[in-house]
Each structure stands twice: as structure tokens, then as C-alpha cells.
A = this chain, B = another copy of it.
Amino acid sequence: MVSIKDVASQAGVSVATVSRVLNSKGYVSEDTRKKVEQAIAELNYKPNEVARSLFKKQSKTIGLIVPDITNPYFPELARAVEDTAAKLGYTVILCNSDGKTEKEQHYLDVLMQKYVDGIIVSSNTISERQIKSLQIPFVSIDREISKDIPTIVVENKKGAKLATQYLQNKGCMRIAHISGPLNVVNANERCEGYKEVVRNEQWFNESYIGNGHFEMDSAIEATLELLQLHPEIDGIFAANDTMAIGAIKAVHKIGKRTPDDIAIVGFDGISLSKATTPELTTIEQPIYEMGEKAASMLIEFIEEKPVEKTFYRLDVGLVERESS
């Protein structure tokens, strides 16, 4: 690799001068700048970012910790983060935590050692203390950890109400809910939204809520149980799209039809939801926008630019398709 020294001698100047033209900082005469630029071009010189990082104590790199990039919600998020970071001159290190505290802590350590300039995390187990002790810019996405931590989330409760009311308006008389793990804030909020709508219905009781883990198999199982217990169910609101797809499968399995016998609504608006038959009616999150916002906010922190707001609760909307 050609270094700044090579450029300096090639151009017949000192490394200090080369550094100046590199960073457009300090006085450089037009003439010498030309010479240096030519030398750079001739040698195809690219400054060594590692050396820069060591000196500047920042690396133009951010870390992104997600539970599992294989979960269809996260690729779009990751893409948005990467796009935005790249646009602003940053690079992103991807980490999969599987939602496990040890893995998260491990990655946090590794990222700190690599001098990343900031971190975006989607986690329910990480604590405010843990984050604060890092002492670097941080954004929590899709999960609310503390009002004190910059956060991007969506209107979970509102979305859940929207979904449930929509099902009511469609004429559903018995609406069940398949929840996510209730210790996860967003799953809990979605469940609350559902309950708020049906709580006062005379038919309602807690047995209309089945528990899933945000993935398909658990939802199939939950749906099957629900339908056995309450054959009169004619509408299901699932706490995410993957589970809604599981619900569709379960309904199909016992020979009923979607939406004719049972209408189904999901949550998230992952691209998968357009690929199923019937296409899924869902509460759409602005996933790309969330990633974009998280990255740009993080980088504003990093570059110490003024940040107007540090807590975003983005809006969601109903996308009506064929499953309802």
C-alpha cells in the first residue's frame, strides 16, 4: 500500500503538506496543491483509514445489532441504515444477537474496541445502564428502553386498535389476538391496543388471546388452539406478519377459508406480506424510514450537530389487501 510518505516524496513536499491538501485544511499554495494532487493520482493513493482512526479516535464506522437478520423485518431496516450511513460516509458492521444478553454484550465490547463511532441496537434485554456506560452515541430502534435514550419506535397501540376496529367494521363478531412475547414492549403495546377495543364486548375474555413468539410455528399452534377452543372466531389480529401468515396456514389446515370464514390482519408490512396468497392485510410500519432516521440521527450525534428531537414514535397505517 502506498502511504502518505510516498506521495510526499513523489511530489517533493513534506507529509504535512500532503495531509493539508488531503483534508483541505490550512494554507497550501495553488501550485503545490496541484503537484500533490497529481502525485496522488499517479500513485493511486488512498489514505489509510486505520491510521486516521487511531489519531482521530473515530472510525467512520457504526455498529448495527439486530436479533436476527434472517427475520424478515430486519433486512429492510439494515438496508436503510446502510444506505444512509454510506451516503454520509460511514460503514456499518452487522451483528446478530439472537436477542441474547451475552451476545449483545460481546458485540458491544467488540464494537467499542473497534472504535465504532456509534451504535444502533434493536433489543429488549439491554439496559439503560449498559448503554450509558458505553459513552458513545446510541440509538435504540423498534424497542423502547428508556425515555432517556434516543429511540425510534412506532405507534404500536394505535396500530393494534386500527387493526381490531377494522376487523369489527368488516363485520367480525369474535376477534382473537395472537400476541408476541408479552415481556417485549411492542408486543405488549399491540396486545393492549387490541384489548382496548374488545374489552367491553360481552363475549370477550382473556382466552381469546393466544401466545406466539413472533414466528410462524408458534402462531400456527396458537391459532389451532384458539380455533378449537372458540370455533366461532371469525377474525384474527396477529401481532406481526410472520404470525399472521402462520394463522393463515392454520386456518387453511382446518379447512376454513381466509378471508371468507376468518379474516386476518397482521402487523409490520414486511415485503413478505405481499407475496402470500391471499395477500396480507396489515398494519404497515415505515421500516425503511425508521432505519434512515436512526442512522441519520446517530450520525448527527456523532458529528455533534444539533438534533431537534431524540424520540420518534412514527405513524403506522392500515394496508388493506386480500386476507380480510
Contact = CB atoms under 8 A, between A and B. Distances in A.
A311 interface: no
A1 B276 CA distance: 50
A94 B78 contact: yes
A169 interface: no
A13 interface: no
A92 B94 contact: yes
Given A47-B113, A82-B94, A70 B76 contact: yes
A120 interface: no
A79 B75 contact: no
Nearest to A288: B70
Count the copies: 2
A59 to B, nearest CB: 7
Interface in A93-131: 93-96, 109-110, 112-115
Contacts of A47: 113
Given A50-B53, A53-B50, A75 B74 contact: yes
Contact of A272 (B51, B53, B275, B278): B275
A271 B114 contact: no
A61 interface: yes
Interface string A236-262: 000000100100110010000000000
A232 interface: no
Given A46-B113, A51-B54, A70 B59 contact: no
B91 A93 contact: yes
A67 to B, nearest CB: 11
Contacts of A109: 46
A79 B68 contact: yes
A291 to B, nearest CB: 11
Interface string A261-274: 00000000001101
Nearest to A277: B277
A83 interface: yes
Interface string A46-69: 111111011000010100100011
A245 B50 contact: no
Q: Give me the 3 closest cross-chain CB pairs, A-B, nearest first.
A: A49-B113, A94-B94, A50-B53
24 contacts: A46-B113, A48-B54, A48-B113, A49-B115, A54-B54, A59-B114, A61-B93, A61-B114, A68-B79, A69-B69, A75-B75, A79-B96, A82-B94, A83-B96, A86-B95, A91-B95, A92-B93, A216-B274, A245-B275, A248-B277, A249-B277, A272-B272, A272-B275, A276-B277
